Amino acid sequence: MKKHEQIRMKLMKKREEIERRLNKIDQDILHTDGAPNPDSEEQAVERANDDVLDALGGIARSELEDINKALTRIERGEYGNCTVCNKPIPLERLKAIPYTDHCVACADNRTDE
């Protein structure tokens, strides 16, 4: 079994989940955009709804990006090392946040900024 194969499987599964979620969000946005409601109050609600969907889509997209980056790092054999200090990231942390590219110390430093 390849190194990090288990984490790779987990990431692939997570990526599928997010892609499904994004598809659903896109469909919801298309649906509301495609059927303009003549009632202006209803329209305002629909617009607010779209904003929420857009925000959700944004979160899912950045998550998807992190996952794709992690998968690329696994393929290149770079996975598991902190991209800031280059020290190995503890396996426990990788299991908890499989797409992280920072060790705890560097992640803490980043939040302090």
Q: Smallest gap, in angstroms, from Cβ of residue 83 to Zn ion?
A: 8
In this structure, what is the dihedral angle of CA atoms 99, 110, 89, 16, given to the nearest 10 degrees?
0
Select 5 or 78, whichever has its Cβ closest to Zn ion: 78
β-sheet bridge partners, residue 81: 88
CB-count exposure of residue 63 (10 Å: 0-12, 13-18, 19+): middle
Is 94 a binding residue for Zn ion by CB under 5 A? The answer is no
Q: Smallest gap, in angstroms, from Cβ of residue 105 to Zn ion?
A: 5
Cα 57 to Cα 52: distance, rounded to the nearest angstrom: 8
Instruction: Give me the 46-85 binding string for Zn ion, x by CB under 5 A, dash otherwise.
Output: ------------------------------------x-xx
Select 40 or 111, whichever has its Cβ closest to Zn ion: 111
Contact yes or no for 98/73 (Cβ under 8 A):
no
Select 32 or 83, whichever has its Cβ closest to Zn ion: 83
Which residues of this protein are in contact with Zn ion, per CB under 5 A?
A: 82, 84-85, 103, 106
